Amino acid sequence: MGLLALVSFVLLLVQLVLLVRVALDWSVMLAGPAMPGSARAKALDVIYRITEPILAPVRKVLPPLRVGGVSIDLAFIVVFITIGIVRTIL
């Protein structure tokens, strides 16, 4: 496996983790906050620890867009699309 293939694979894993974050965020919106110590709470903690260092710097430059009572995380969209473009180039 070449270096570029390895980098592309790691970026794919980051994209998958970002998608898991979306699913878990939606679970909080639909089912309410996770009970402390539950599997969902532990999963949220792990996913946030992985993704927040990636999203936070972008979020400082590009804050969430507020539309009525909804907030759209533009940082997530930018990071996800950027990773897809980089993977395509590789």
Q: Which domain holds residue 62?
A: 3-89
Structure confidence at residue 12 (pLDDT)? 96
How many separate domains does the chain show? 1
Give the model's pLDDT for residue 41: 87
How do residues 3-44 score in pLDDT, each as one tens digit?
A: 999 999 999 999 999 999 999 888 887 877 778 888 888 999
**Average pLDDT of span 43-57:** 94
Distance set, CA 17 to CA 5, 11, 53, 61 (Å): 18, 10, 13, 22
- Residues 49-67, mean pLDDT to the nearest whole number: 93
pLDDT attached to residue 34: 77
Residues 55-59 have a mean pLDDT of 94
SS (H, E, C) 13-71: HHHHHHHHHHHHHHHHHHHCCCCCCCHHHHHHHHHHHHHHHHHHHHHHHCCCEEECCEE
